[in-house]
Amino acid sequence: MKTDKKFLDALSSPFGVRRGNADYEVAPTEKEAGMPGPDEDVFLAVDVIPMKPESPGVGDDLGSSEEDLPVRGNWGGKLDFIFGCVSYAVGLGNVWRFPYLAYENGGGAFLVPFFISIILCGVPLFVMEVSIGQYLNTGGIGIWNLVPMFKGVGFASMTMIGLSNIYYIVLIAYTLYYLVASFHSPLPWEQCGNEWNTDRCLGIQENHSSLVARNLTAAQAVSSVKEYWERNVLDITNGLEEVGSLRPELALYLLLAWFLVYTVIWRGLHQSGKIIWCTALFPYLILFILFIRGVTLEGASDGLLYYLRPDWTKLRDPRVWIAAGTQVLFSYGIGIGANVALGSYNKYNHNFYRDSMIVCTICSGTSLFAGLVIFSVLGHMAHIQDKDVSEVARSGPGLAFLAYPEMVVQLPFAPVWAVLFFLMLIVLGIDSQFCTVEALVTGLVDEFASTLRPYRRLFTLGVVIVQFLLGLPLVTQGGMYIFQLMDFFSASGVSLLTVVFFEIVGFAWIYGARRIYANIKDMIGFTPNKYFFFCWLFAAPCMIVGMLVFYIAQPEPVTYSDHYVYPWWGEMVGWGMALASITWIPTYAIYFLWNSSGSLLERIKKGVTPQVVPRKAQEGTPTSDESLTLDPPANSVRVLLQEKS
């Protein structure tokens, strides 16, 4: 069996020895640590873990060897991981996507497929991603040293998260625009007569009798809220064919949004614990205030009934189940490497399982609670306008920038409620954004540690600048069409489902669900319920395949605002973005096989054999020397020494 010389040196003292610039210590065996272990006749596990030297500052003369690299670091507090995950998982989608999906897909009946998807897919995959990140102490690319030939899945995840970072933050730029405007009284979208309004403008406080004098019908009229959004904020063109000019105000707010993100993550998200606490808790304070105000409004009960009244016939429609499944993946952030990155900053024996259950409960509960807040307000809005709730209910940006601005005008002290709402959206958006940017940086820095880790802060700044520049086309006059295209293709739908499917195959089937169980037991001292085993191997992959087949068999045309259909070449651009991530998977597999030695069968076997040896072998872990003596990758110093008792 091969062993590292530093490992043998470390064994010379139970207290650790100094070698060069790094410290090593011998971790206690499971018996010494008082943890339940395997039977006596199985394995003896010994680990070498790097002790934490002083972290060099930026600009120190650092070599490229592992010993010279700055330490990676961990979360500073026991609750930082929970707040970090809540910041990431509870985002804009919980507030403006889930409530509308629930209403549109059967109200209370939608909760049936939603919770089934959570139980069979969302929670198990969340636990799997966090556990692997914590076990290997590395990001979304490095974890694929467990299944080297599948490392393309890691690069695909980084591509998706990079694309999503570019367009998602544009929503924060829009929200900043509205937040600043909310400090005016009256609110600028409340009435007509502004330079951006047309002759067809109808103010919110105007009744339809004013249309008669202008020889307009109700169908021809355009609300002042919509004109403010499309003609002032966006100054939107007629289609994707007309990109138009840059919107200076939006570009400035985009720059401000990226600056806010960088100020949080420049040292690493794990060193920004107290900031995460504040940004994670603040939206709940605002949601609670809005809920108290919303349920006391006249007509609120009508909105809540529309939200919760079950339509059981909807459960026969496969699209309802697809909507529930994709919302769970979207909400829990499965497949894009963020959960892995957040988990990787946990200490080795941190009880991530308990924390994961807490995070998943908070995430799902927030979606339900946000629906109560939004639909109580929409019910009041429908009551004031003497309309059905279905006529005022919207999803996505339409809810944030059309429905809610129209509603707050009809409340006393309208600017106050507008400021609270848009401030909440900004915090929700920034929370998710700095977690996804951190996931991208962590994945790349861990994979190319010798090159990037000494200059992490500078590299993070470079990532922020590049993604800001790539986002500028989205704040042009035609930027909303580009935004819609990226939202539809780049990190959702076929691309996301494909990556998640190969993630399940790689970890649960090839690396092995039993090995994951063994890793979890080694970290926290017990194994989770066997239902995770069933979900990883059968339930989750079946659900993902079903959704993927549906997306491919019944493609939907990309539209904007129900009246603009994208040209064929626009959809081809969208598919190009989707393939930009998907093609990493076969491309890297071919690259790995081409550069490996031996016969094709030997190359494949090497491609599915872990290059990072599991820390402790338990039931289901191979015992042959071939799978236990591979050289560890450069970013790992964990070595397993096994021998029969």
Residues 119 and 259 in one domain: yes
Asked if residue 538 belongs to a domain, the reply is yes
Residues 14 and 130 in one domain: no
Q: Hey, which residues does 560 pair with through a beta bridge?
A: 564
Binding-site positions for Na(+) read 89-90, 94, 331, 428, 431-432
Residues 361 and 488 in one domain: yes
Residues 170 and 32 in one domain: no
In this predicted model, what pLDDT tens digit does every residue of 521-535 receive, in sequence order? Answer: 999 999 998 999 999
Pairing of strands 201-202, 222-223: parallel
- At residue 307, the 3 state secondary structure works out as helix
Q: How confident is the model at residue 407 (pLDDT cuts 50, 70, 90)?
A: confident
Number of H helices, E strands in the chain: 28, 7
Average pLDDT along the chain? 81
Q: How confident is the model at residue 638 (pLDDT cuts 50, 70, 90)?
A: very low
Asked if residue 212 belongs to a domain, the reply is no
Enclosing H/E stretch for 87: helix 80-89
CA atoms within 13 Å, Cβ hemisphere of 150: 27
Neighbours of 539 (CB within 10 A): 18
Residues 511 and 437 in one domain: yes
Q: What does the pLDDT average to over 57-69?
A: 42
Please state which of the ranges 70-74, 476-480, 610-614, 634-638 shows the lowest mean pLDDT. 634-638
Selection from 421, 564, 424 nearest residue 480 by Cα: 564
Asked if residue 198 belongs to a domain, the reply is no
Q: Which pLDDT does position 16 carry in this prediction?
A: 34
Asked if residue 205 belongs to a domain, the reply is no
User: What is the spatial distance between Cα 425 and Cα 404, in angstroms, rounded to a whole number?
Assistant: 12
Residue 376 belongs to what domain range? 78-187+229-611
In this predicted model, what pLDDT tens digit does every residue of 158-207 receive, in sequence order? Answer: 999 999 999 999 999 999 999 999 999 889 999 888 999 988 888 877 76
Q: What percent of the chain has pLDDT over 70?
A: 81
Asked if residue 214 belongs to a domain, the reply is no
In this predicted model, what pLDDT tens digit does every residue of 248-305 receive, in sequence order? Answer: 999 999 999 999 999 888 876 766 667 788 888 889 998 999 899 889 888 899 889 8
Residues 1 and 133 in one domain: no
Q: What does the pLDDT average to over 408-422?
A: 88
In this predicted model, what pLDDT tens digit does every residue of 381-404 receive, in sequence order? Answer: 788 777 787 777 666 677 778 878
More confident residue, 39 or 347: 347
More confident residue, 235 or 73: 235
In this predicted model, what pLDDT tens digit does every residue of 195-238 receive, in sequence order? Answer: 999 888 888 777 666 666 677 777 778 888 889 999 999 999 99
Q: Which pLDDT does position 56 carry in this prediction?
A: 33
Enclosing H/E stretch for 571: helix 568-582
Asked if residue 218 belongs to a domain, the reply is no
Asked if residue 494 belongs to a domain, the reply is yes
Residues 455 and 571 in one domain: yes
Asked if residue 260 belongs to a domain, the reply is yes
pTM: 0.82
In this predicted model, what pLDDT tens digit does every residue of 127-138 receive, in sequence order? Answer: 999 999 999 999
Q: Which pLDDT does position 63 carry in this prediction?
A: 38
Residues 59 and 115 in one domain: no
Residues 619 and 549 in one domain: no
Residues 506 and 639 in one domain: no
What secondary structure does DSSP assign to 389-443, as a single string?
HHHH---THHIIIIIHHHHHTTSTTHHHHHHHHHHHHHHHHHHHHHHHHHHHHHH
Say yes or no to pLDDT of 25 above 50: no
More confident residue, 80 or 632: 80
Binding-site positions read 89-90, 94, 331, 428, 431-432
Residues 260 and 354 in one domain: yes
CATH of the domain at 519: 1.20.1740
Q: Which pLDDT does position 278 carry in this prediction?
A: 86
Residues 143 and 50 in one domain: no
In this predicted model, what pLDDT tens digit does every residue of 591-633 receive, in sequence order? Answer: 999 999 999 999 999 999 998 754 443 334 343 333 333 333 3
In this predicted model, what pLDDT tens digit does every residue of 449-482 receive, in sequence order? Answer: 889 989 999 999 999 999 999 999 999 999 999 9
User: What is the spatial distance between Cα 613 and Cα 145, in angstroms, rounded to a whole number?
Assistant: 9
Q: Hey, which residues does 17 pair with through a beta bridge?
A: 24
- At residue 24, the 3 state secondary structure works out as strand
More confident residue, 440 or 631: 440
> Structural domain tally of the chain?
2
Pairing of strands 559-560, 201-202: unpaired
